[in-house]
Chains A and B, each alone.
Chain A
Amino acid sequence: MELTGAQILVKALADEGVEYIFGYPGGAALHIYDALYQQDEVKHILVRHEQGAGHAADGYARSNGKPGVVLVTSGPGATNVVTPVATAHMDSIPMVIITAQVPSHLIGDDAFQEVDSIGITRPCVKHNFLVKDVRDLATTIKKAFYVATSGRPGPVVIDLPKDITANKTEYIYPKTIAMRSYQPTSEGHSGQIRKAVQVLLGAKRPIIYTGGGIILANCSDKLTELVRLLGYPCTNTLMGLGSYPADDPLFVGMLGMHGTYEANLAMHECDVMLCIGARFDDRVTGDTNKFSPYAKIIHVDVDPSSISKTISADIPVVGSADVVIDKMISQIKESGRKPDAEALQKWWDQIDGWRKVDCLDYDRDSDLIKPQFVVEKLYEVTKGDAYVTSDVGQHQMFAAQYYKFTKPRRWINSGGLGTMGFGLPAAMGVQLAHPDATVACVTGEGSIQMCLQELSTCKQYDLPLNIVNLNNRYLGMVRQWQEFFYDRRYSNSYMDALPDLVKLAEGYGHIGIRIENPADVEGALKEALNDKTRLYFLDFITDQTENVYPMIAAGKGHHEMHLSPRNGGNDEERELA
Chain B
Amino acid sequence: MRHIISILMENESGALSRVAGLFSARGYNIESLTVAPTEDASLSRMTLVTSGTDRVVEQIKKQLNKLIDVVKLVDLVENEHVEREISLIKVRAAGNARDEINRLVGIFRGRIVDVTDTSYTIELTGNCGKIDAFLKAVPNDTIIEVVRSGVLGIARGEKGLRL
Contact = CB atoms under 8 A, between A and B. Distances in A.
Contact of A130 (B9, B14, B59, B65): B14
A303 interface: yes
Contact of B163 (A118, A180, A304, A305): A180
A127 B22 CA distance: 12
Nearest to B71: A181
A147 interface: yes
B151 interface: no
Contact of B66 (A130, A305, A312): A305
B21 A122 contact: yes
A122 B68 contact: no
Interface string A301-340: 0011100110010000000000000000000000000000
A497 B70 CA distance: 53
A308 B58 contact: yes
B17 A119 contact: yes
B14 A305 contact: no
A96 to B, nearest CB: 14
- In the complex, which range does the number of interface residues on chain A fall in? 10 to 19
Contact of A122 (B17, B63, B70, B71): B17
B17 A182 contact: no
Interface string B53-91: 001001100110110111100000000000000000000
A498 interface: no
B147 to A, nearest CB: 28
B68 A182 contact: yes
Contacts of B63: 305
A246 B68 CA distance: 37
Nearest to A180: B71
A181 to B, nearest CB: 4
Given A123-B25, A308-B58, A118 B14 contact: yes
Given A305-B63, A308-B55, A308-B58, A181 B17 contact: no
A205 interface: no
A575 to B, nearest CB: 31
B123 interface: no
A308 B55 CA distance: 8
A49 interface: no
Given A130-B13, A147-B68, A304-B65, A122 B18 contact: yes
A479 interface: no
A404 interface: no
A309 B14 contact: no
Contacts of B10: 181
Query: Which of A118, A147, A181, A304 neighbours the largest number of chain B CB atoms within 10 Å of its CB?
Result: A181
A395 interface: no
Contacts of A181: 9-10, 68-71
Interface string A85-120: 000000000000000000000000000000000110
Nearest to B22: A123
Interface string A134-151: 000000000000010000
A577 B41 CA distance: 63
A309 B59 CA distance: 7
Nearest to B68: A127
Query: Which of A119, A122, A305, A308 neighbours the largest number of chain B CB atoms within 10 Å of its CB?
Result: A305
A41 B132 CA distance: 66
Nearest to B72: A181
Contacts of A118: 14
A1 interface: no
A304 B60 CA distance: 11
A179 interface: yes
A99 B68 CA distance: 20
Contact of B68 (A119, A126, A130, A309): A126
Nearest to B70: A181
Contacts of B59: 305, 308-309
A304 B78 CA distance: 20
Nearest to B62: A305
Interface string B33-69: 0000000000000000000000100110011011011
Nearest to A147: B68
A279 to B, nearest CB: 13
Contacts of A182: 68
A126 B68 CA distance: 8
Given A305-B59, A308-B55, A308-B58, 8 more contacts: A122-B17, A123-B21, A126-B68, A130-B13, A180-B163, A181-B9, A304-B65, A305-B62
Interface of A: 118-119, 122-123, 126-127, 130, 147, 179-182, 303-305, 308-309, 312
12 contacts: A122-B14, A122-B18, A123-B21, A126-B68, A147-B68, A180-B71, A181-B68, A181-B71, A182-B68, A305-B62, A309-B59, A312-B55
